[in-house]
């Protein structure tokens, strides 16, 4: 109850203690111990999809975009100014933060979280050094399933991004369907932050404590034998699925 009140309200520990009749030190110990316990069990709740065909089918229902395993994006969680290495935590908007990367499924459930990087880091760098990138490099391709990301990410064989200058009609259709499908991660971030108001406050610690707080196949597409890089596969998707005459 104490920890839920802290996470949901974003109130000071002293205020929560006064409300519940507890002293500040007790509230602090309870919150720390519960967060530690939750982090130990995080893999029970944040899991990569196991039924890949079902996941692809659920994403396909949004806008007809095939073979999607997840939508990826980053969001900044504000923190108090750290006492060490402060410049690395200042993001492009000028305030200190953690750049939190997340992947979600079509139902808006987080399937991967990475809260290890300071605010100055670009989304593409966070992704390139993440476990989910390593996993996709080993296992992800057009046949096994891909991720959707915005233009801040590189277009790779397992990560589809929008066309930056879509001149062809099927490229524009691709971009529209990409945006509709990928928006699930933005809605998931929004719901997450509305539910846990602590994420609107300045988290006290930029290291471990903050990380704890944050921490059907389509037949035609599977027959692709062309250029096995991100742009080649992206062009194939646009021509195969969105080129309506």
Average pLDDT score over the chain: 82
Per the confidence metrics, is the pTM higher than 0.85? Answer: no
pLDDT at 101: 95
Residue 180: pLDDT band (50, 70, 90) is very high
Whether 179 has a pLDDT exceeding 80, the answer reads: yes
Instruction: Of 34-38, 54-58, 80-84, give the lowest mean pLDDT range.
Output: 34-38
pLDDT at 145: 94
> Is 20:197 a contact under the CB 8 Å cutoff?
no
Gap between the Cα atoms of 195 and 207, Å rounded: 23
Gap between the Cα atoms of 208 and 52, Å rounded: 32
Pick from 2-6, 26-30, 41-45, 75-79 the range whose average pLDDT is largest: 75-79
Instruction: Dump pLDDT digits (tens) for 193-207.
Output: 888 777 766 665 444
pLDDT at 136: 94
- Which residues are CB-neighbours of 15 under 8 A, at least 6 positions away? none
pLDDT at 14: 60
CA–CA distance from 5 to each of 15, 32, 169, 198, 200 (Å)?
10, 13, 51, 10, 14
pLDDT at 241: 79
Gap between the Cα atoms of 60 and 67, Å rounded: 7
Average pLDDT over residues 162-172: 94
Average pLDDT over residues 15-30: 66
Q: Which of 69, 70, 79, 71 lies closest to 99, judged by CA? A: 79
pLDDT at 131: 94
Whether 224 has a pLDDT exceeding 50, the answer reads: no
The structure tokens listed for 18 are 């006064």
Average pLDDT over residues 44-50: 89
Instruction: Dump pLDDT digits (tens) for 113-124.
Output: 998 899 999 999
């Amino acid at each position: 109850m104490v920890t839920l009140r802290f996470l949901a309200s974003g109130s000071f520990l002293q205020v929560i203690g006064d409300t519940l009749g507890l002293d500040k030190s007790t509230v602090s110990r309870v919150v720390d111990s519960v967060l530690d316990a939750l982090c130990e069990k995080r893999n029970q709740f944040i899991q990569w999809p196991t039924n890949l065909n079902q996941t692809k089918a659920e994403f396909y229902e949004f806008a007809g975009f095939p073979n999607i395993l997840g939508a990826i994006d980053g969001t900044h969680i504000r923190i108090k100014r750290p006492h060490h290495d402060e410049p690395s935590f200042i993001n492009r908007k000028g305030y200190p933060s953690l750049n939190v990367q997340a992947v979600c499924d079509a139902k808006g459930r987080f399937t991967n979280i990475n809260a290890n990087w300071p605010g100055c880091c670009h989304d593409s760098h966070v992704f390139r050094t993440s476990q989910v990138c390593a996993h996709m490099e080993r296992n992800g391709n057009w046949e096994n399933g891909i991720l959707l990301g915005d233009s801040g990410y590189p277009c790779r064989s397992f990560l589809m991004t929008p066309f930056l200058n879509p001149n062809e009609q099927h490229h524009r259709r691709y971009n529209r369907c990409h945006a509709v499908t990928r928006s699930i991660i933005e809605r998931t971030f929004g719901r997450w932050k509305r539910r846990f108001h602590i994420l609107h406050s300045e988290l006290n610690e930029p290291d471990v404590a903050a990380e704890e707080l944050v921490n059907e196949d389509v037949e035609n597409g599977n027959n692709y034998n062309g250029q096995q890089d991100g742009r080649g596969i992206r062009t194939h998707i646009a021509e195969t699925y969105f080129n309506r005459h």
